[in-house]
Structure 1
Amino acid sequence: MQLRYHTLDVFTDTRFGGNPLAVVHDADGLSPEAMQQIAREFNLSETVFIVKPSNPAHSARVRIFTPGRELPFAGHPTVGTAILLAQLRAPLVNGERDAIIVLEEAIGAVRVGVRLRADAAPFAEFDAPKLPQKDGTLPARERLAGALGLLPREIGFENHTPQCFTSGNTFAYIPVNGLEAMGRAAINAGEWGSAFAPSQISGVYLYTRQCLHKASAFHARMFAPALGVPEDPATGAAAVGFAGVVDAFDDLPDGLHKRVIEQGYEMGRPSSIVLTLIVERGGLDTVRIGGNAVRVTEGTLEV
């Protein structure tokens, strides 16, 4: 059997930046085991398999696999797949096109707005299907620091303390006091499991307010060895949960708030995620994730 596939770089407007994504088309005939094998072969943070939607009014049903397991939801596969389907199914009219792509994911239907322009990289934005909620506790900062190769005094800044949030996937959010410490952070395999594995955490998201670019509000890194992803260049699902962190610590007034997150620089894959929070009556009402994506390769997969 031959299946067509594309790869894209997501959360970037430049090829060979951002987070690479593989998308396999017409995958209805593949078993979950075959999908997992193919995802392991691509060996990217995530591989998407497009199958026929349950609701014919929707654009597609998608299954999302890391090299290690299937996920109910992920951000960069949502953005990249929506942009790809819009490009393939919605030709430009007078050099532009706006489209709504509805993706059936295990977490539920996700509506994605896509903006296509002849003179710019495509952009997509979606409302998170679930708002972030606190989920569990983390050990003392001495153990967290040991697992990350940092000093305890480098964990935390201002009023920010380590937290766990979930929005379909659970992440540990670790504030780090500056870019120098962020650059030294690394997985300490000897202490990682005792610090993070018992909590069923998908990944560990480090962040600081010190940034490389003035337009950015936060600089981030994300480690997910349990998913087969030692480090991720851009993590939309973790950015959804991070909205809970920002809401909890930054005392946002009612209204719309945009925060640009830079990620992937330590890997040589610069990425930019647009996080939008809408606060109403003192509570987080909407979380929106946006970013660009560019196509890189296409081909045929023999299975």
Structure 2
Amino acid sequence: MRRYDFATVDVFTDRRFGGNPLAVFPDARGLTDAEMQALAAEFNLSETTFVLPPENPANTARVRIFNRTAEMPFAGHPNVGTGWVLADRAVDGVLRFEEIAGLVEVRIGRDAAGAVTDSVIAAPQPLTLGPEMDAALLAGCVGLAPGDVLATAHRPVMASVGNSFVIAEVAPEALSRAAPDLAKFRDAAAVFTAPSVTVRRLPIYLHADAGPGQRRARMFSPLSGTIEDAATGSAATPLAALLLSLGDAAEGRWDITQGVEMGRPSLLRTTARRGADGIRATVGGRCVPVLQGTALV
């Protein structure tokens, strides 16, 4: 058998057993696609990452991200956590990861003693918007009434900065009542048409106003094996970009709390800014090391 070292970290938290857990294989050379997928399924986390040499030597690494059932083009907490694990590879505090969705830049913060304080990623693509989803159809998927879905600022809409989600605002008092209905997710996925394979698995990201510069969020993706996610950076980034697009400001910042209902509170710090190619977004936070081990393949 071959031996592959791995580490796990809790992402978007400053305490063990909070945030979103992630497994990282810092040297995945020699693993096949099928083996990576099998290992991700075995860990049974929302995502597992596999680090390979970059195709372009100017970059740090090629990073492949697998959820329980499929490879992903980009994801938030896997990049933040992988950046934390690979922080010693940073050059001038920067890592560059080659991914299916494009190049992901990771900035590593350190304190005066040199300890890592945070990991901040720039999403690989500007904001794009896709089809809108009927509010009643969405509400049924998450166990809410159609009236709980708010359309004052925006209607439920597919949004992406590298990974697609249906993003919907709900009333603050409704967010904690949301509960995914697997059968209704399956029914909705059959009628909600979108070009993205990811969206055909229908990940739904709910957010609610929590005060100036503050949002609460929950993410459900039962068709990909994640009943609920504790922290979803690749949904928080298009949310930040979408919120900025609704006004005239050049840039904005939002702190997003997620995972509270799961008992794994997470804090995602997002920014969005207007640029020449559209609205770009970042997300960052802290991580806590949890496990180190070796997988036998």
- TM-score, normalised by the number of residues in structure 2: 0.90
Separation in structure 1 between the aligned mates of residue 245 and residue 24 of structure 2, nearest angstrom:
35
Contact in 1 for aligned 2:120/2:284 (Cα 8 Å): yes
Separation in structure 2 between the aligned mates of residue 151 and residue 85 of structure 1, nearest angstrom:
44
Q: Give the SS at the match of 1:145.
A: helix
Question: Deviation string for 1:19-68 (max 9, x for gaps)?
Answer: 10000132121111110000000000100011111122322111100001
28-37 or 180-189, which moves further after superposition? 180-189
The answer for the alignment partner of 2:249 in structure 1 is 253
Question: Deviation string for 1:87-121 (max 9, x for gaps)?
Answer: 4x46xxxxxx9611111111222121101235976
Separation in structure 2 between the aligned mates of residue 143 and residue 33 of structure 1, nearest angstrom:
35
Match of 1:167 among 161, 164, 176: 161
Separation in structure 2 between the aligned mates of residue 280 and residue 48 of structure 1, nearest angstrom:
30
Identity within the alignment, %: 40
The answer for the alignment partner of 1:93 in structure 2 is none
Which residue identity is paired with 1:272?
Answer: L
Question: Deviation string for 1:141-194 (max 9, x for gaps)?
Answer: 22222221111111106433211112222111111111x311111111222222
53-62 or 191-200, which moves further after superposition? 191-200
Separation in structure 2 between the aligned mates of residue 253 and residue 267 of structure 1, nearest angstrom:
34
The answer for the alignment partner of 2:187 in structure 1 is 194
Contact in 1 for aligned 2:230/2:266 (Cα 8 Å): yes
How far the C-alpha of 1:252 sits from its partner, in A, is 3.7
Q: Is it true that 1:122 corresponds to 2:117 in the alignment?
A: yes
Contact in 1 for aligned 2:76/2:283 (Cα 8 Å): yes
Q: Give the SS at the match of 2:17.
A: coil
The answer for the alignment partner of 1:135 in structure 2 is 130
Q: Give the SS at the match of 2:271.
A: strand
Structure 1 spans left out of the alignment, 5+ residues: 91-96
Separation in structure 1 between the aligned mates of residue 292 and residue 68 of structure 2, nearest angstrom:
20
Q: Is it true that 1:243 corresponds to 2:240 in the alignment?
A: yes
Q: Give the SS at the match of 1:81.
A: helix
**Number of residues of Structure 1 aligned to a counterpart in Structure 2:** 288
Q: Is it true that 1:224 corresponds to 2:218 in the alignment?
A: no
How far the C-alpha of 1:253 sits from its partner, in A, is 1.7
Contact in 1 for aligned 2:238/2:281 (Cα 8 Å): no
Q: Give the SS at the match of 1:135.
A: strand
Which residue identity is paired with 1:264?
Answer: G
Separation in structure 1 between the aligned mates of residue 240 and residue 11 of structure 2, nearest angstrom:
20
Contact in 1 for aligned 2:245/2:279 (Cα 8 Å): no
Which residue identity is paired with 2:225?
Answer: G
CA RMSD of aligned residues (A): 2.1
Q: Is it true that 1:13 corresponds to 2:6 in the alignment?
A: no
Separation in structure 1 between the aligned mates of residue 184 and residue 107 of structure 2, nearest angstrom:
42
Map residues 22-33 of structure 1 onto 2, 5 A cutoff: 22-33=23-34
Q: Give the SS at the match of 2:141.
A: helix
The answer for the alignment partner of 1:79 in structure 2 is 80
Contact in 2 for aligned 1:68/1:226 (Cα 8 Å): no
Which residue identity is paired with 2:138?
Answer: L
Contact in 2 for aligned 1:165/1:244 (Cα 8 Å): no
The answer for the alignment partner of 2:292 in structure 1 is 298
Contact in 2 for aligned 1:167/1:237 (Cα 8 Å): yes
Separation in structure 2 between the aligned mates of residue 163 and residue 287 of structure 1, nearest angstrom:
18
How far the C-alpha of 1:280 sits from its partner, in A, is 5.5
Separation in structure 2 between the aligned mates of residue 224 and residue 119 of structure 1, nearest angstrom:
38
36-45 or 10-19, which moves further after superposition? 10-19
Structure 2 spans left out of the alignment, 5+ residues: none
Which residue identity is paired with 1:109?
Answer: L
Separation in structure 2 between the aligned mates of residue 74 and residue 163 of structure 1, nearest angstrom:
19
Change (3 A) 1:244 1:195: farther
Which residue identity is paired with 1:150?
Answer: L
- TM-score, normalised by the number of residues in structure 1: 0.88
Separation in structure 2 between the aligned mates of residue 195 and residue 129 of structure 1, nearest angstrom:
29
